[in-house]
Amino acid sequence: MSFFAGFFLALWAGVKQIFKHRYTLRYPEQKLDIFMINNQKSGGYEFDAKKQVGTAGFKGRHILYMDKCTGCSLCAIACEGIADCIDMVKVDKSFVQNKKSQFPQIDYGRCVFCGFCVDACPFDCLFETPFYELATTDKRSLVYTPEMLNEYPQLKGEYVKFIPDKKSGAHHG
């Protein structure tokens, strides 16, 4: 191949990308919005205890509904053979369904996001969310108390729309 043929071939390889959708993000300034897909709210991994059926979803930081949790410890028992990162801890608030005021606390320094604790919860009060930004320089701040898990994760930064595409896979807006 001549020098000019090679030059124009290389140029064309770059130019034709201009007309294609963008696939790269300037993370961490930009993040893919996996909370909304096709204008529908996309949650994380959930498990319906009555139907014994899981709902596919991103396995990120948990959400704990303290007003439904009975403190039965089944989530902690399920985690024992996996990462042993759930401790049942006492909180100051009182809830009628939880006589001992004991709730799960999760150490994300050890959690492998398997979702077994979600499957084990018989009261539909422990799910996973699509939130994954948990990095920190302080290991102790990876321990999430029941009150922290009770708050839905705060989204920070610019979230870019995720567009599934049957032809090209997926791209963003």
| Residues at the site binding ligand SF4, with contacts judged by CB under 6 A | 64, 69-75, 78-79, 82-83, 85-86, 104, 106, 111-117, 120-121, 123, 125-126
Q: Which is nearer to ligand SF4, 116 or 132 (CB)?
A: 116
Q: Which is nearer to ligand SF4, 67 or 158 (CB)?
A: 67
The answer to whether 75 and 86 are in contact (CB under 8 A) is yes
What is the spatial distance between Cα 47 and Cα 107, in angstroms, rounded to a whole number? 21
The 8-class DSSP code of residue 12 comes to H
What is the spatial distance between Cα 68 and Cα 6, in angstroms, rounded to a whole number? 66
In the numeric block, which tokens belong to residue 90? Answer: 């006492």
Q: How far is the CB of 169 from ligand SF4 (least distance, A)?
A: 28
The 8-class DSSP code of residue 130 comes to S
For residue 28, whether the previous peptide bond is cis, meaning omega lies within 30 degrees of 0, is: yes
Q: Which is nearer to ligand SF4, 31 or 102 (CB)?
A: 102
Q: How far is the CB of 91 from ligand SF4 (least distance, A)?
A: 12
- State the alpha helices, DSSP H only, in 16-164: 74-80, 116-120, 146-150
Q: How far is the CB of 111 from ligand SF4 (least distance, A)?
A: 3
Q: How far is the CB of 32 from ligand SF4 (least distance, A)?
A: 22
Strand partners, 79: none
Q: Which is nearer to ligand SF4, 126 or 131 (CB)?
A: 126
Q: How far is the CB of 27 from ligand SF4 (least distance, A)?
A: 24
What is the spatial distance between Cα 137 and Cα 109, in angstroms, rounded to a whole number? 11
Q: Which is nearer to ligand SF4, 57 or 104 (CB)?
A: 104
